[in-house]
């Protein structure tokens, strides 16, 4: 009985240390594979939707969150986008770590577009991945 209590306690502890990720899906699409590329566009990037708006996703802080740096959270948002068939994430709000939270927090829209490459920024003649 005691070992069951400890197992439950550590499971809850581990889960509560992850950043909180949520979604509102308005047009679920077939999932993408785990290796499919997802383009991330920043707030300042221009984007004209030429596909389907799948919904919105949001990351937050549970209060005890760890593993919630910019790139760790972006990876989790990409996973959620893939699960819902989206290949573009357009960040609409980004809050960096501050005195209230050690996590990067995002709000974004996710889209399924025919060709994400046409939405990539071009710098010095090279296409970049955000």
Whether the predicted pLDDT of 15 surpasses 50: no
Q: Give residue 98's pLDDT.
A: 83
Q: Give residue 129's pLDDT.
A: 47
Tokens coding 58: 């949001």
Q: Give residue 101's pLDDT.
A: 80
Q: Give residue 100's pLDDT.
A: 78
More confident residue, 126 or 36: 36
Q: Give residue 16's pLDDT.
A: 44
- pLDDT confidence tier of residue 121, bands split at 50, 70 and 90: confident
């Amino acid at each position: 009985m005691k070992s069951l209590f400890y197992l439950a306690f550590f499971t809850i502890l581990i889960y509560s240390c992850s950043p909180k990720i949520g979604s509102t899906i308005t047009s679920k699409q077939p999932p993408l594979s785990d290796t499919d590329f997802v383009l991330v566009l920043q707030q300042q990037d221009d984007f004209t939707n030429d596909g389907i708006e799948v919904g919105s996703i949001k990351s937050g802080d549970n209060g005890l969150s760890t593993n919630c740096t910019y790139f760790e959270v972006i990876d989790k948002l990409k996973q959620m986008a893939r699960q819902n068939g989206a290949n573009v994430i357009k960040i609409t709000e980004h809050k960096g770590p501050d005195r209230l939270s050690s996590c990067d927090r995002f709000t974004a829209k996710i889209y399924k577009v025919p060709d994400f490459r046409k939405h990539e920024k071009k710098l010095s003649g090279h296409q970049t991945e955000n």
